[in-house]
Chains A and B, each alone.
Chain A
């Protein structure tokens, strides 16, 4: 396997990188950790003419704690997110997802933003972003916009970042200290892409009733998806095993996952119910645990 030819660029500032993206546009790909892009290039599914390496840009290598949000820069490695005390406290759902991503050697190199921009529907982080109502800061030379997660994932391996743009930051809202969270998946081998997975968060009000619920599935469609019907069912009710069973049936009925030799459609729908129960059970047990 030989990677196709390209011209390598190592910008020294973000401004440089944006100028290169303006110049090369469609012909360029951004390289950060390379753990998604290099395999695509090795398989010749991607053949960029120019590779712009932002992996060493210090200004993008920070996890920034702001008043209501946590910002994860484009060059922050997954292992840094996994070990960040800030993320564990303020965005525990994201922290819980990290050990599921690939294997240790992949997380040591791969970036969180790289995985998000790659937008693999079977990957964990896009579903976490969707469940957390996160947003994405996207820049081009002379302009910046912020895209909510619900609008960011457009299709299989496609997200709302234009050819002249760079995803500079993944912005996670600070999780309420009363909330509970869980990431569960079923895969053939630990670290493999999930046959189906779920990232879930619930919060309760002073009466102990569920005040907010987010159920976000990965591996179920061409993008991560929220199951709003099940979220609606949960909201306003006190958490209970019976309620979670009901939500599980709704999820199973709502999803239309793909089937392949690793798992049929029926098996994956069944997993939808199983994972809903596991996630809600674990999230309920963690209500208030991040306080």
Chain B
């Protein structure tokens, strides 16, 4: 049964996409279900946990708190834009090296939050990193290894070829 349908055109990971979506569906749902970009994870679905964080016009946003229609005309980047299994993005590699994640359900949100943070502020202080990551929940690690991962990105270009 389809409700109120809207046409949405946006750039997703560098590719122009145009699709008809029901107005009540969130950006997260459309990324996952219509575009097959299941790297974006949904957990709390009301803006608390940060797992669904994506980049919207270069700035971190909760894709569960955004209707897909609101993405019309915007540029979206998801975790799929970062690296591949063969060639991890430096942030992914640093998290790997530091054993940043355990179950990694939260990882896509953390990775995109860090990605947006470092693009805006390439040399954040430890306090800034903690504040900027405070909106993302991890239930495995206690965060220490994730913060170590961010530090590892900052302290070396060698993370990418480890």
Binding site for B on A (CB under 8 A): 1-8, 10, 31, 34-35, 38-39, 42-43, 51, 53, 55, 79, 99, 102-106, 108-109, 189-191
Residue of B nearest to A55 (CB): B70
The answer, among B26, B60, B69, B130, for a CB contact under 8 Å with A108, is B60
> Which residues of B1-40 have CB atoms within 8 Å of chain A's CB atoms?
3-4, 6, 22-26
Residue of A nearest to B57 (CB): A108
Q: List 18 A-B contacts (CB under 8 A).
A: A1-B45, A1-B46, A3-B26, A7-B23, A8-B69, A31-B70, A35-B47, A38-B47, A39-B65, A51-B23, A99-B131, A103-B50, A103-B134, A104-B135, A105-B62, A105-B113, A106-B62, A109-B66
Please indicate the chain A residues that have their CB under 8 angstroms from the CB of B116 in the complex: 104
Please indicate the chain B residues that have their CB under 8 angstroms from the CB of A103 in the complex: 50, 132, 134-135
Fill in one digit per residue for B109-122: 1 if any A CB lies within 8 Å of its CB, else 0. 00001001100000
Please indicate the chain A residues that have their CB under 8 angstroms from the CB of B65 in the complex: 34-35, 38-39, 106, 109
Measured in the bound complex, the distance between the Cα atoms of B25 and A5 in whole Å is: 9
Please indicate the chain A residues that have their CB under 8 angstroms from the CB of B67 in the complex: 3, 8, 31, 34, 38
A5/B47 in contact, CB under 8 A: no
Residue of B nearest to A2 (CB): B24
The answer, among B23, B24, B46, B61, for a CB contact under 8 Å with A105, is B61
Summed over the interface, the residue pairs from A and B with CB atoms below 8 Å come to a total of 91
The answer, among B22, B25, B45, B132, for a CB contact under 8 Å with A104, is B132
Measured in the bound complex, the distance between the Cα atoms of B116 and A7 in whole Å is: 32
Please indicate the chain B residues that have their CB under 8 angstroms from the CB of A53 in the complex: 69-70
Measured in the bound complex, the distance between the Cα atoms of B23 and A106 in whole Å is: 21
Residue of A nearest to B3 (CB): A5
> Which residues of B66-89 have CB atoms within 8 Å of chain A's CB atoms?
66-67, 69-70
Among B24, B45, B69, chain A packs the most CB atoms within 10 A around the CB of B24
Which 5 interchain pairs have the tightest Cβ spacing? A103-B135, A8-B23, A1-B45, A39-B46, A105-B60
B59/A108 in contact, CB under 8 A: yes
B159 interface residue, CB < 8 Å from A?
no
In the complex where A1-B46, A109-B65, A191-B135 touch, is A104 in contact with B23 (Cβ < 8 A)?
Answer: no
Residue of A nearest to B22 (CB): A5
B92 interface residue, CB < 8 Å from A?
no
B160 interface residue, CB < 8 Å from A?
no
Measured in the bound complex, the distance between the Cα atoms of B117 and A4 in whole Å is: 33
Minimum distance in angstroms from B110 CB to a CB of chain A: 12
A43/B46 in contact, CB under 8 A: yes
Residue of B nearest to A37 (CB): B65
B135/A106 in contact, CB under 8 A: yes
A104/B60 in contact, CB under 8 A: yes
B69/A4 in contact, CB under 8 A: no
Minimum distance in angstroms from A50 CB to a CB of chain B: 10
B4/A105 in contact, CB under 8 A: no
B47/A191 in contact, CB under 8 A: no
Among A3, A7, A102, A103, chain B packs the most CB atoms within 10 A around the CB of A103
Measured in the bound complex, the distance between the Cα atoms of B7 and A10 in whole Å is: 12
Residue of B nearest to A110 (CB): B65
Among B60, B62, B132, chain A packs the most CB atoms within 10 A around the CB of B62
In the complex where A1-B45, A103-B50 touch, is A109 in contact with B69 (Cβ < 8 A)?
Answer: no
In the complex where A39-B47, A105-B135 touch, is A4 in contact with B24 (Cβ < 8 A)?
Answer: yes
Among B47, B60, B117, B134, chain A packs the most CB atoms within 10 A around the CB of B47
Please indicate the chain A residues that have their CB under 8 angstroms from the CB of B50 in the complex: 103, 105
A42/B45 in contact, CB under 8 A: yes
B66/A34 in contact, CB under 8 A: yes
Given contacts A2-B24, A39-B46, A109-B62, 5 further A-B contacts (CB under 8 A): A8-B23, A8-B67, A103-B50, A104-B60, A105-B60
A105/B53 in contact, CB under 8 A: yes
Measured in the bound complex, the distance between the Cα atoms of B46 and A106 in whole Å is: 11
Among A55, A104, A105, A108, chain B packs the most CB atoms within 10 A around the CB of A105
